[in-house]
Structure 1
């Protein structure tokens, strides 16, 4: 039977391999994890920061356990070059919490017993005995080795928790792996669908491209947009010139007073002959609409060349 000691905000619980909650708890819990769930050692490491020390822990714990590849590591700096180092299996702690009847949603924080129980050199809980031994490391020991130990049930409420929390992922790694595989599968299916759609689109587009090229060839269409734009610009230029000619002819024919004897067009020139010797009258009329004109008069005939 595991003790849970109450205060106003949370309850404290000491988690061991035998922890089983007889009743459901609907308040937040601060869990103190027993040494059964982690390895702890003091190492002298010639570095300055905890982060630097953490990088070398896998190699340092190789002599203690062969599970280094699946462990999570934490470090607490005690003094210069001296560090208190922890290694634990995230999955094992998660499974112990789950089997004890504790709801993950009720967990406030998790702590190492190594740091939280220093005021009690030896104590018992859940029928197990724990004691601080050489180098002040907390370990589980056989009950027969110690006669008198503090009943931790009566004192757990007095513990003032430290600032060092156990950094754990509160979910099952197996579930997480399955979830990742599911995402990978869905992602792969989406990729295959997109590839299939691309291939189908390519198969549909190729016959259309062949038909377009055939139409271009039969109708002598240009092969590129640059050629097409060039042809279009030429057509637009011709249209502007023809429109200009039409407007010029329309203007010339509006004058009923002048007797137009002949009319001819050569490229961008209009050649006119008026049956009159009054050059000024002809020039006055044409200057209203044309800028470039050339007039000559011979006897009763006035010849005009209009440059468009």
Structure 2
């Protein structure tokens, strides 16, 4: 089932979980915008230049994420990245058929990902909202955004990023089939050459990858490399905080007879000893370190004021 929201341009939002039925006048052409529930999407950086080359890689790139089914793929280039989609033609057409919409009345089919970014977040039914995170549109429980307004397609301007469902594209007469066969025969050699070039590019990238892994002594899997990177990032963050804290102590405005006599770091604890401070002067020092108050402790040992900060 799917929902048609109020619009003057016969645009219908197709969502399996919507309980509202569309009202479409007879003979009206309809543009359909697919809910994220009806497709899978990825943003990818690939070692190819053209969308037609990227499309050849999509089945292997999606295979670990898709449930069992018969999928079609489409890709659009956006800057230096590719926006890739996988969808089941049969499932989409079944959703259309549930509302007795004629196949011949459908003008174009679009994705919510390419058409609705500017309209989010929005409510699409009583239990779900459509939101965007990291430039990816997805469906979430209503509690994620209970103030979201209902989707309105009144001012929607559709893009040229459309798909043709397989059942549409194959309904052609014998004459058209003959013409298509002739065109395929004319271009089959060119397509073979393009495929060869693409495979050469992929092989080149794999060779470069192996050289980089060997040169920088990387682990064989990305999971292992990410784990090592995370450890380095954590260490770098701790060292940065330590340097910043020591810098705070070195910037303290001390009198002539006051001076830092020792700085030590052990067991995630920075210890700084300052001589020549009385009670009033020690309070001024502590006041200048207010941003570290939660992790700070201090004490007098003889004539030496010691400050400890846990990192």
- TM-score normalised to the size of structure 1? 0.50
Counterpart for residue 140 of structure 1: 139
Q: Distance in 2 between matches of 1:117 and 1:22?
A: 19
Find the residue that maps to 1:151 and give its secondary structure: coil
* Alignment of 1:38 onto 2:39: yes
Q: Distance in 2 between matches of 1:150 and 1:116?
A: 17
* Alignment of 1:61 onto 2:62: yes
Find the residue that maps to 2:161 and give its secondary structure: coil
Counterpart for residue 3 of structure 1: 4
Q: Distance in 2 between matches of 1:11 and 1:23?
A: 10
Relative to 1, partners in 2 of residues 1:22 and 1:116: Cα closer, same or farther, differing over 3 Å? closer
Any conservation in 1 of the 2:55–2:74 contact (CA below 8 Å)? yes
Q: Distance in 2 between matches of 1:161 and 1:42?
A: 21
Q: Distance in 2 between matches of 1:91 and 1:3?
A: 21
Relative to 1, partners in 2 of residues 1:6 and 1:140: Cα closer, same or farther, differing over 3 Å? closer
Counterpart for residue 73 of structure 1: 73
How many matched pairs?
A: 167
Which digits, 9 at most, give the CA deviation of each residue in 1:187-235, with x for residues without a partner? xxxxxxxxxxxxxxxxxxxxxxxxxxxxxxxxxxxxxxxxxxxxxxxxx
Q: Distance in 2 between matches of 1:35 and 1:94?
A: 15
Q: Distance in 2 between matches of 1:28 and 1:74?
A: 24
Find the residue that maps to 1:87 and give its secondary structure: strand
Q: Distance in 2 between matches of 1:5 and 1:166?
A: 23
What is the RMSD computed on CA atoms of the aligned residues? 2.3
Any conservation in 2 of the 1:21–1:102 contact (CA below 8 Å)? no
* Alignment of 1:165 onto 2:166: no
How many angstroms does 1:89 deviate by? 0.5
Any conservation in 1 of the 2:121–2:130 contact (CA below 8 Å)? yes
Relative to 1, partners in 2 of residues 1:146 and 1:54: Cα closer, same or farther, differing over 3 Å? same
Relative to 1, partners in 2 of residues 1:101 and 1:125: Cα closer, same or farther, differing over 3 Å? farther
Instruction: Give the unaligned 5+ runs of structure 1.
Output: 177-308
Counterpart for residue 11 of structure 2: 12
1:90-101 counterparts in 2 under 5 A?
Answer: 90-101=89-100
Find the residue that maps to 1:119 and give its secondary structure: helix
Instruction: Give the unaligned 5+ runs of structure 2.
Output: 172-311
How many angstroms does 1:157 deviate by? 1.3
